[in-house]
Amino acid sequence: MSDRAELRLRTPEAGSQESLSRLGQTDGMRLLVVDDEVRLAEALSRALRAEHFDVDVVHDGNDAMWHAQEVDYAAIILDIMLPGKNGYQVCRDLRAAGNTTPILMLTAKDGEYDEAEALDTGADDYLRKPFSLVVLLARLRAMLRRGPTHSPDLLEVGDLVIDRGQLSCTRVGEASITLTPREFAVLEHLARRAPDVVSKSTLLDDVWGLGFDGDPNIVEVYVGYLRRKLGRDAVRTVRNVGYQLVVDQPIGPP
């Protein structure tokens, strides 16, 4: 059975602390919302999209496992009472598999042992229903600032060093290049799969979200932005297949 608690959608009062979205820091961040209460999950999804997050929603623990293992999420908002696998099992199995995505666990239960179990299974934070959107966003911002508990800030592919904390990249001995959040997301996905070729549809799903219904040519646009900053040979187009990060090319002008 699911927790029958309502989300109180209170918005911040005028003059309150700026949200991450107003600072432009949530663009391109993708979240997974897992709750079997369809109405609650959709309300939460709309609220998060209003904060400029990309959001995927599932209502089952098994679906949550599949999405969390296939997609690189910035954070997961996970209910405890779920069909298939409950939230404790999902969290425990993800941590056992080496997944370090920050997890905010939700529940209508209010016992201290429930909170302890959530944290012991690997959740980063715990929020009781009913809750206000203001509080949830504050907890989410705190988790995103901390990032994955065991995830390194630096990703090295060949001689290219990608800095997740600074949203930048460089090669040894060369100047750092600052990227926008979306440019960085595209580069990081290419880098994590290098030297494999990544299809356009995979980049669309992973960076823009499964529900993206805009022009798929947005991928070419952002690949073009990366080439302007990294050099025209940094990303290779494999016709009818996708894109490949070329890790042995020096950064240079297009």
CB-neighbour burial class of residue 190 (10 A; exposed 0-12, middle 13-18, buried 19+): buried
> Would you say residue 248 has pLDDT above 90?
no
Q: What pLDDT, on the 0 to 100 scale, is given for residue 6?
A: 46
Q: What is the mean pLDDT of the chain?
A: 80
Which DSSP state fits 20?
A: T
In angstroms, what CA-CA distances link 69 with 46, 95, 108, 127, 206? 24, 11, 26, 23, 12
pLDDT digits (tens, 9 = 90+) for 128-142: 888 888 889 988 988
Q: What pLDDT, on the 0 to 100 scale, is given for residue 228?
A: 93
CA atoms within 13 Å, Cβ hemisphere of 181:
16
How many residues in total does the chain contain?
254
Task: Note the helical H segments in the chain.
Answer: 38-50, 61-70, 87-96, 112-120, 133-146, 181-193, 200-203, 218-230
pLDDT digits (tens, 9 = 90+) for 57-71: 999 999 999 999 888
Q: Residues 240, 199: contact at Cβ < 8 Å?
A: no
pLDDT digits (tens, 9 = 90+) for 90-105: 998 888 777 888 999 9
Q: Residues 82, 36: contact at Cβ < 8 Å?
A: yes
> Would you say residue 1 has pLDDT above 50?
no
The rounded distance, in Å, linking the Cα atoms of 127 and 3 is 13
Query: Which of the given ranges, 38-47, 121-130, 158-167, 171-180, has the highest pLDDT on average?
Result: 38-47
* 128 against 247, higher pLDDT: 128
CA atoms within 13 Å, Cβ hemisphere of 133:
18
Domains of the chain (ranges, CATH numbers): 30-146 (3.40.50.2300), 154-245 (1.10.10.10)
> Would you say residue 166 has pLDDT above 80?
no
Q: Residues 30, 71: contact at Cβ < 8 Å?
A: yes
Three-state SS at 216: coil
* Alpha carbon 250 to its chain's center: 29
Residues ≥6 apart with Cβ < 8 Å to 75: 29, 31, 32, 101, 102, 103, 104, 140, 143, 144
Q: What pLDDT, on the 0 to 100 scale, is given for residue 147?
A: 66
Q: What pLDDT, on the 0 to 100 scale, is given for residue 127?
A: 87
pLDDT digits (tens, 9 = 90+) for 6-41: 445 444 443 344 444 443 455 568 999 999 999 999
Q: What pLDDT, on the 0 to 100 scale, is given for residue 68?
A: 92
Q: What pLDDT, on the 0 to 100 scale, is given for residue 25?
A: 54
Average pLDDT over every residue of 217-240: 92
> Would you say residue 150 has pLDDT above 70?
no
| Count of C-beta atoms within a 10 Å radius of residue 192 | 15
Average pLDDT over every residue of 232-247: 91
